[in-house]
């Protein structure tokens, strides 16, 4: 097991910080408080458990409607966004006897993640399901989830997201008419490139690495020595193919279904950031539903979240095998120079200590 990251511990004052990050070998994944509208508007796990056995009144007649949901992944069996969206859509349709359907727009048909989130905020799109990275542009507390080596493992991340901290982010997001129904996951992110194996920060020097449109990711990869460039996900494959970008970082659940192995020769199982994937709905649209439909939508999101998390774990090994079969050279998790990256990460935590230091401590206190 990798040693604790003392440099971050000194920032947040928590000795257990990041002790298990180095053991999350081959974790996969892809490219948020109770509020005053009632229990149906929170992703607090306690409320989830309280409501788990409740269903809408069997005699209730639901108004017919079609909700639109956009995401960025293809429609293949291994594409986690699409399969998670299908799980939600099927649950809602079943519970409303077909009256309420969710029309899914995959593969960035409605734009990139930030573009869809802006559309949702304006009420032009009902729902989304994708990475939390762009969420920080609308609820800055969400940025805390993008700090390198923050979560010990998936269980730690789930406890944080499903509890009070996830609810706090949701409450802030609702101020922008963005309601987080539940927190799915992409898993841990990894580094790919077309030039060389990446083991130490020195190996990233001079490489143009695409990151999400997120200030924390940009700061982290600058600290790692790369030349980070924010870019919308729909543009990424072409940028890698043409050499505009040398590499990128994403979970295996984005790298493999999107065939990045066709344009990238090296993958490092770095586990440098855990990537949540929230199920999101426009707050005003949700508040306009009947209480019965609100309950169905909320419980459907919990169902889809659980499906999604298990889906990622089930496909983890297959994703990596597919990458290897298609010619990618792998730097294994235990070969990655965590100590050097931990040291580089110190300056990122220092930079944001005043803004997020209290949240760092709260996250590390979660069991």
Containing 191, the helix (H) or strand (E) segment is strand 178-193
Please give the pLDDT value at position 26: 40
Q: Which two tokens stand for residue 180?
A: 């987080």
Quick count: other Cβ atoms within 10 Å of Cβ 49? 11
* pLDDT at site 133: 84
pLDDT of residue 264: 99
pLDDT of residue 49: 45
Across the chain, which has 367 residues, the per-10-residue mean pLDDT values are 39 41 42 38 46 54 97 94 98 98 97 95 97 90 94 96 98 98 97 98 97 89 97 95 98 95 98 97 98 99 98 93 98 96 94 95 95
DSSP string, 7-44: HHHHHHT-TTTTTTGGG-TT---------TT-GGG---
- What CATH number has the domain spanning 6-365? 3.40.190.170
d(CA 38, CA 129): 23
Q: What is the pTM of this model?
A: 0.81
Q: Which two tokens stand for residue 50?
A: 């309280």
Q: What pLDDT is stored for residue 37 in this prediction?
A: 36
Cβ atoms within 10 Å, residue 178:
23
């Amino acid at each position: 097991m990798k040693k604790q990251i003392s440099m971050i511990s000194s920032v947040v004052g928590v000795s257990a910080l990041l002790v298990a990050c180095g053991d999350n070998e081959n974790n996969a994944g892809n490219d948020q408080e109770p509020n005053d509208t009632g229990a149906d508007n929170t992703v607090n796990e306690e409320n989830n458990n309280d409501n788990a056995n409740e269903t809408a009144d069997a005699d209730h007649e639901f108004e017919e409607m079609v909700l639109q949901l956009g995401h960025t992944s293809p429609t293949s069996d291994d594409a986690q966004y699409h399969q998670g969206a299908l799980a939600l859509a099927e649950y809602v349709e079943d519970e409303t006897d077909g009256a309420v359907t969710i029309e899914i727009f995959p593969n960035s048909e409605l734009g990139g993640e930030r573009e869809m989130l802006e559309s949702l905020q304006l009420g032009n799109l009902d729902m989304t399901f994708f990475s939390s990275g762009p969420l920080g542009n609308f609820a800055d507390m969400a940025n805390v989830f993008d700090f390198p080596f923050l979560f010990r493992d998936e269980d730690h991340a789930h406890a944080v997201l499903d509890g009070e901290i996830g609810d706090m982010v949701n409450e802030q997001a609702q101020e922008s008419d963005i309601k987080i129904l539940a927190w799915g996951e992409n898993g841990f992110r990894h580094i790919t490139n077309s030039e060389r194996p990446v083991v130490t920060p020195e190996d990233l020097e001079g490489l143009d690495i695409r990151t999400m449109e997120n200030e924390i990711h940009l700061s982290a990869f600058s600290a790692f020595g790369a030349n980070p460039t924010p870019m919308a996900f729909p543009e990424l494959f072409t940028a890698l193919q043409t050499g505009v970008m040398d590499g990128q970082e994403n979970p295996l659940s984005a790298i493999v279904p999107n065939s990045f192995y066709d344009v990238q020769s090296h993958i490092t199982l770095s586990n440098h950031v855990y990537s949540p994937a929230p199920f999101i709905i426009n707050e005003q649209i949700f508040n306009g539903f009947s209480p019965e439909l609100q309950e169905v939508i909320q419980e459907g999101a919990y169902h889809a979240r659980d499906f999604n998390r298990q889906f990622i774990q089930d496909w983890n090994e297959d994703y990596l095998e597919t990458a290897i079969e298609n010619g990618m050279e792998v730097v294994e998790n235990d070969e990655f120079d965590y100590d050097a990256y931990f040291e580089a990460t110190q300056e990122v935590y220092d930079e944001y200590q005043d803004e997020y230091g209290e949240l760092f401590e709260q996250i590390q206190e979660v069991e």
